Amino acid sequence: MQEQYRTVARAGVHENEINRSRFICALAPAATEQEAQEFIARIRKEHPTATHNCYAYVIGADAAVQKAGDDGEPGGTAGVPMLQMLMRRDVRYAVAVVTRYYGGVKLGAGGLIRAYGGVVGEALDAIGTITRQRYRLASVTVDHQRAGKLENDLRATGRSVRDVRYAESVTIEVGLPNADVDAFRTWLADATAGAARLELGGEAYGDA
CA-CA-CA-CA torsion sign (128, 88, 26, 100)? positive
Looking up residue 116, the CATH number of its domain turns out to be 3.30.230.30
b/e code 145-177 from CB counts within 10 Å (16+ = b): ebbeebbeebeeeebbeeebeeeeebbbebbbb
Give, for all 208 residues of the chain, the pLDDT tens digit: 567 789 999 999 999 999 999 999 999 999 999 999 999 999 999 999 999 999 999 999 889 999 999 999 999 999 999 999 999 999 999 999 999 999 988 999 999 999 999 999 999 999 999 998 778 889 999 999 999 999 999 999 888 888 999 999 999 999 888 778 899 999 999 999 999 999 988 877 776 5
Q: 118 and 168 share a domain?
A: no
Domain boundary among 127, 152, 179: 127
Q: 177 and 152 share a domain?
A: yes
Give the structural domain span for 30: 4-127
Number of Cβ within a 10 Å radius of residue 131: 12
Q: 104 and 140 share a domain?
A: no
Amino acid at 117: G
Domains of the chain: total: 2
Domain boundary among 103, 127, 151: 127
